[in-house]
Structure 1
């Protein structure tokens, strides 16, 4: 049997699965559809596998037109996001038709706070997806 140096064994022990890891948070742009008076409705799904409910979750979104120029900067409130659930949220983008949007950029997360907890960095645990023709990027 080979012997490993103590430092190697210590490193393996610290990197092993024994440490509990929080899950992630997924934001999915599920679909875009035309709304009333030239607005665009955006359907988002939020999957919270963080191990705790988020009492505050606000996103700053930059809506880019077909030329790649920022048309709007919107802040949307998606809270609350219950623990281990998928939540549907609908947001209206005023003054722009859905076919006039080339991309939605997650510019900032202005609030991310677990229930009964302190603000946290949600960018570190965030995954973005899009099932719409329009990409959702950070």
Structure 2
């Protein structure tokens, strides 16, 4: 009986606020840029119910031998609510075919518009359409 009541409340939208969808970070494409360095195209899909005025990620670029090549901080802000944002970043001194994996090492800044700094890790979903994995 209790299960039926919860199901009815959920169907009616009365079981509490809907969970936010979060933020999807997708490594969409890699291509050779100037002087042979790797250029990375990222899509940021903000399905959260907040816009973000700060969204900085520290990435560890790991080569095909599994060795960390470099740490790089990228800034994707602003991230408007219910929008997909395209950002392009250069990986200096690293060719795309030498890149084995991209690790989200840390969120150096994550702040909703007009809000306080928050822990964004629970909001994140990472995806990759490139031949290189994006992991946390």
- 2: distance between equivalents of 1:19 and 1:131? 35
- Computed over aligned residues only, the root mean square deviation of the Cα atoms, in angstroms, reads 1.9
- 2: distance between equivalents of 1:131 and 1:68? 20
List aligned pairs for 1:9-88, cutoff 5 A: 18-20=15-17, 21-88=19-86
Report what 1:98 is aligned to.
Answer: 96
- 1:137 and 2:132 correspond: no
- 1: distance between equivalents of 2:16 and 2:96? 44
Unaligned 5+ runs, structure 1: none
User: Retained in 2: the 8 A contact 1:103–1:134?
Assistant: yes
How many residue pairs were aligned? Answer: 131
Once the two structures are TM-superposed, the CA of residue 87 in structure 1 deviates from its matched residue by: 0.2
Q: What do residues 18-72 of structure 1 show as CA deviations (whole Å, max 9, x unaligned)? A: 2212221000000000011121000000000111110000000000011000001
- 2: distance between equivalents of 1:27 and 1:132? 13
Question: Which 4+ runs in 1 deviate beyond 4 A?
Answer: none
Unaligned 5+ runs, structure 2: none
- 2: distance between equivalents of 1:49 and 1:73? 27
- 2: distance between equivalents of 1:19 and 1:54? 24
**TM-score computed with the length of structure 2 as normaliser:** 0.89
